[in-house]
Amino acid sequence: MWKYLYNLTVHLALPFFSLFALFNRKIRNNLRERLVPQGIEDDPQGLVWIHAASLGESAIAHNLVEQIGLTIPDARFLVTTNTYYARDLLRRKLGKTALVHSLPLDLPFSINRLMGNSLFRGLILVETELWPNLIWTARRRGIPIVIVNGRISDSTIGRYKLVSSLLRPVFSCVNLVLAQSDSHAERFVHLGMDPQRVVSTGNLKYFRGISTPPRREQRFGVVTFGSIKEKELEPVIGVILDLKKRFRELKVFVAPRELHLVSAIEDALRQPLTTIRYSVLRGHREDSGDFDAVVVDTVGDLMDIYGESDLAFVGGSLAPYGGQNMLEPLFFETPVLFGPHVENFKEVADQVITTGGGIRVTSADELLEKISFLLENDEVRIDMGRAGRSIIDAQNQVMVETVARIREVLWKDS
């Protein structure tokens, strides 16, 4: 009954979705590939299919490919994403290590066209990519399904409760949920997942395959504002201009969450400051001349920039967007600041504050004062960075356990 109603709904919605895509570049760019995908090549050993929605989840997919590959050297991978820019980034990073495609639309025709007659060892879904037809098709083909880094956020739990009757037949097809925390595990159970198939393993966003950097006594003279969203542009620009008045030698990097904001940031900064795009600066620093601010107009470079920063502010948090991943700077012992709106990362934010690896600010004025204080107090800044890195070091075991549990499900007969 629910399968029939769901498929009726998605097929009726398809013409309207296609029309909407004509005016939305994010969707339009890979719509054809998602609607009529090219079938993948057969693999006699069975592919491990990992699906990640966009950039944040694709970092987890990348790490899973590498870490599973270390323990199962002959494993072969298919990685899919919803967005074209995450797809392109993974193709560059994974190279020939994995096939990378856009995820087909959740239509039986599109899904089966991509899968063809290929064999699959398992389907791994990152976080909450609960596409009913994808999951039902995998189950019908006898493919084990594992949800990793499972999370159900405060903002979506209410909507999921409204469709809990639909979710139950979806969850019944899932072999295992590896949840980010006990509270997320409880939410999966509350929505209909068998409690015997739910395990709290921790947050994979803590993990990066990055060796511990040298201690950060050196100073770069750089502050990075990462993942900045549109509604917080004005206060962030104000903070940057005030910082430059106080610290004339300071370099500022600004990375918008959406690339269409690049021009607006340039326009706001260009008059008082000398600006340059990161695409120009990258690889040509010796020829780029002097500059005050760098506008990051590329995808996939923010981690490297955090690694050369004294401090980082992670956006999506000064305005009510729910926050962004404030862990990434901590891999490099770079202290992190973020605003009050971190509902989607509440547990992570609380741990960063508790360990002393970062500061939560309530306004642009407080952000300016905290950054200024840390730039003037190297010892405090260095201690914060080390405290933040301790979170990362303590959580590397999460990846080890995740891979072990995936092996138990996907390679149980090996």
Amino acid at 189: V
Cβ neighbours, 10 Å, residue 108: 17
Cα of 79 vs its chain's centroid, Å: 15
What residues contact 22, with CB distance under 8 A and at least 6 apart?
Answer: 28
Within the chain, which residues score under 50 in pLDDT? none
Pairing relation of β-strands 98-102 and 76-81?
parallel
Condensed to tens digits (0 to 9), the pLDDT of residues 129-171 reads 899 999 999 999 999 999 999 999 887 888 888 887 888 999 9
User: Smallest Cα–Cα separation from 237: which of 207, 205, 199, 275?
Assistant: 275
Cα of 394 vs its chain's centroid, Å: 20
Residue pair 185/177 in contact by the 8 Å Cβ criterion: yes
Name the residue with tokens 């607006």. Answer: 264
- The CATH 3.40.50.11720 domain(s) of the chain lie at 2-202
Kindly report the CATH number that applies to the domain delimited by 222-394.
3.40.50.2000
Pairing relation of β-strands 293-295 and 251-256?
parallel
CA distances from 282 to 20, 209, 295 (A): 35, 23, 11
Condensed to tens digits (0 to 9), the pLDDT of residues 166-199 reads 889 999 999 999 999 999 999 999 999 999 999 9
Alpha helices in 126-163 (DSSP H): 132-140, 154-162
Share of the chain above pLDDT 90, in %: 70
Q: Is 382 helix (H, G, I), strand (E, B) or coil?
A: helix
Condensed to tens digits (0 to 9), the pLDDT of residues 377-396 reads 999 999 999 999 988 887 78
State which fold the 2-202 domain adopts. Answer: Rossmann fold (3.40.50)
DSSP string, 259-274: GGGHHHHHHHHHTTS-
Pairing relation of β-strands 222-228 and 251-256?
parallel
User: Smallest Cα–Cα separation from 337: which of 302, 304, 370?
Assistant: 370
Measured distance CA(130)–CA(43) in Å, rounded: 25
Measured distance CA(15)–CA(294) in Å, rounded: 41
User: Smallest Cα–Cα separation from 181: which of 206, 160, 146, 145?
Assistant: 206
* DSSP H/E element including 371: helix 364-376
**Residue 282: φ, ψ to 5°:** -60, 125
Measured distance CA(93)–CA(87) in Å, rounded: 10
- Cα of first residue to Cα of last residue in the chain, in angstroms, is 37
Residue pair 79/89 in contact by the 8 Å Cβ criterion: no
Dihedral sign from CA coordinates of 326, 338, 304, 383: negative
Q: Say what the pLDDT of residue 217 is.
A: 57
